[in-house]
């Protein structure tokens, strides 16, 4: 009989991971036709709330009533267990990965021979971070160009009522700087379908893809872009992690898998793409053309306002012979991003404690979108210490810039227990001016 804590292997691609989940009863196939217009979202939402399995919709039906040839995979990371497995970790293995990430961000000199010896596994792992090139990748077994590269052939979801068009929700958007092909960024930015071969990329100004786009704009050139949908789990998870500056997500995925990341040259753009991706959209983001994006349901539980963002024109679609299309939805927690947020919180902790040793624990409640509120317990030793830590946290990581509220409590309060936190606020907190 399988035990969840026995999974410590790495996965070569998404279908390898899905096959393992199915063997362990953590993936269910849905063979009946299910509409991409709201129905997939509703089934996914109910299963996620119940702590249920990943879902493979074998006959997704588009808005015109046509059954798509490509199955849709949803709720892949709907539980902490599956997130740990995706990292190649046993149950409870996130703290070890968190310590490694903290060492990469802020390496410390060895203090002794035994300390230096203990760092050897990290140095060895770092050698796996250089990608290796693959000549005939699975991600290019099928190539669509021109009119064949039609987005309507893909099972792209309409997640919520009132949305204007299908939305690509799990894209790994690969960009690079114009003067440095090695300066790669992989970001997750939702993409609204505008037509058969056009999409809008919604990215915030501080994100890596937007920064690269500004560089290309300054040269008056369209930016090459590749969008991998359905990579191996380590590559997907690397794209959502708070990586140190200068470490690309593709390289870090190799570290997670303890092997060099296989990449391939894209067919129509000067970019490397994950060789084992399910499918890849290739094209160019216009230097000057924008289009209205939205409104779409967001992780806050509200619809975003309509704004203008850059337009991508498709030049090719490449894929495996029998690909899966990976998708999700965002909405008021719980949703899949909030589950990932819980895991990322565990990865932040060692880094935060290095900066502020007096911090006992830190919690980013999923009900607050996993970043808009924070509860932190500290070992308070002098007046003003709490204020110093709160101001330091707000400026420490880009993810914390959007935190609206920080609640600091004493060490005896469990920051992960709302009953404890509310009790402390009610009995130990004096508002200013009272």
Highest mean pLDDT among 97-111, 246-260, 322-336: 322-336
Q: How far apart are CA 374 and CA 379, in angstroms?
A: 17
Indicate if the pLDDT at residue 275 is higher than 90. Answer: yes
**What does the pLDDT read at residue 7?**
58
Q: Rounded to whole angstroms, how far apart are CA atoms 218 and 373? A: 37
Token digits of residue 350: 């060692």
Asked if 261 and 170 touch (Cβ cutoff 8 Å), the reply is no
d(CA 304, CA 302): 6
Cα gap 190→173, rounded to integer Å:
9
Q: What is the mean pLDDT of residues 19-45?
A: 98
When pLDDT is averaged across residues 263-274 and rounded to a whole number, the result is: 97
Express each pLDDT in 301-344 by its tens digit.
999 999 999 999 999 999 999 999 999 999 999 999 999 999 98
Expressed in angstroms, the distance from the first to the final Cα of the chain is 61
C-alpha to C-alpha distance for 320 and 401, rounded to whole angstroms: 39
The pLDDT value given to residue 432 = 63
Is the pTM here over 0.85, yes or no?
yes
Residue 57: exposure state from Cβ atoms within 10 A (0-12, 13-18, ≥19): buried
Q: One of 179, 298, 379, 412 is an active-site residue; which one?
A: 298
Q: How confident is the model at residue 2 (pLDDT cuts 50, 70, 90)?
A: very low
Average of per-residue pLDDT values in the chain: 91
Alpha helices (H) along 270-401: 336-355, 385-396
Q: Give how far the C-alpha of residue 156 lies from the chain's centroid of Cα atoms, to the nearest Å.
A: 18
Mean pLDDT of 172-188: 95
Residues of the chain with CATH 2.30.110.10: 131-326
Does the structural domain 356-428 have CATH classification 3.20.20.20? no
| DSSP 8-state symbol, 413 | S
CATH 3.40.1670.10 placement within the chain: 356-428
Distance CA 394, CA 16 (A): 40
In percent, the amount of the chain with pLDDT more than 70 equals 91
**Domain 131-326 classification at class level:** mainly beta
Residue 13's pLDDT band, with cuts at 50, 70 and 90, is very high
- 298 belongs to the catalytic site: yes
Weakest-pLDDT range from 68-77, 286-295, 425-434: 425-434
């Amino acid at each position: 009989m399988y035990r969840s804590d026995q999974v410590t292997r790495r996965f070569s691609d998404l279908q390898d991971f899905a096959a393992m989940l199915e063997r362990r009863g953590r993936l269910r196939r849905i063979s009946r036709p299910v509409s991409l217009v709201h129905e997939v979202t509703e089934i996914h939402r109910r299963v996620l709330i119940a702590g249920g399995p990943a879902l493979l919709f074998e006959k997704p039906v588009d808005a015109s009533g046509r059954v798509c040839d490509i199955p849709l995979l949803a709720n892949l990371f709907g539980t902490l267990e599956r997130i740990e497995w995706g990292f190649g970790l046993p149950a409870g293995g996130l703290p070890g990965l968190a310590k490694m990430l903290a060492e990469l961000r802020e390496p410390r000199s060895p203090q002794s021979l035994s300390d230096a010896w203990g760092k050897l596994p990290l140095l060895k792992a770092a050698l796996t971070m250089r990608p290796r090139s693959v000549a005939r990748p699975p991600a290019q077994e099928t190539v669509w160009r021109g009119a064949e590269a039609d987005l309507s052939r893909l099972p792209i979801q309409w997640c919520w009522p009132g949305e204007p068009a299908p939305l690509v929700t799990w894209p790994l958007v690969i960009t690079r700087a114009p003067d440095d092909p090695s300066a790669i960024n992989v970001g997750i930015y939702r993409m609204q379908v505008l037509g058969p071969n056009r999409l809008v990329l919604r990215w915030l100004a501080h994100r890596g893809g937007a920064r690269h786009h500004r560089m290309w704009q300054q040269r008056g050139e369209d930016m090459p872009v590749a969008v991998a949908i359905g990579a191996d789990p380590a590559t997907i998870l690397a794209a959502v992690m708070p990586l140190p500056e200068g470490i690309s997500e593709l390289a870090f995925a190799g570290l997670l898998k303890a092997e060099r990341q296989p990449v391939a040259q894209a067919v129509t753009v000067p970019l490397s793409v994950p060789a084992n991706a399910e499918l890849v959209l290739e094209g160019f983001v216009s230097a000057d053309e924008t289009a209205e994006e939205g409104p779409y349901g967001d992780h806050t539980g509200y619809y975003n306002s309509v704004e203008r963002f850059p337009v991508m024109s498709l030049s090719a679609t490449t894929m495996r012979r029998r690909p899966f299309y990976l998708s999700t939805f965002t909405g008021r927690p719980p949703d899949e991003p909030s589950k990932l947020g819980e895991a990322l919180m565990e990865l932040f902790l060692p880094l935060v404690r290095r900066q502020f040793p007096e911090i006992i624990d830190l919690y980013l409640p999923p009900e607050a979108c996993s970043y808009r509120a924070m509860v932190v317990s500290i070992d308070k030793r002098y007046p003003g210490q709490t204020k110093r830590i709160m101001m330091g946290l707000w400026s420490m990581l880009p993810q914390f810039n959007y935190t609206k509220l920080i609640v600091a409590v004493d060490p005896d309060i469990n920051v992960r227990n709302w009953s404890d936190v509310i009790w402390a606020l009610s009995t130990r907190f004096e508002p200013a001016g009272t």
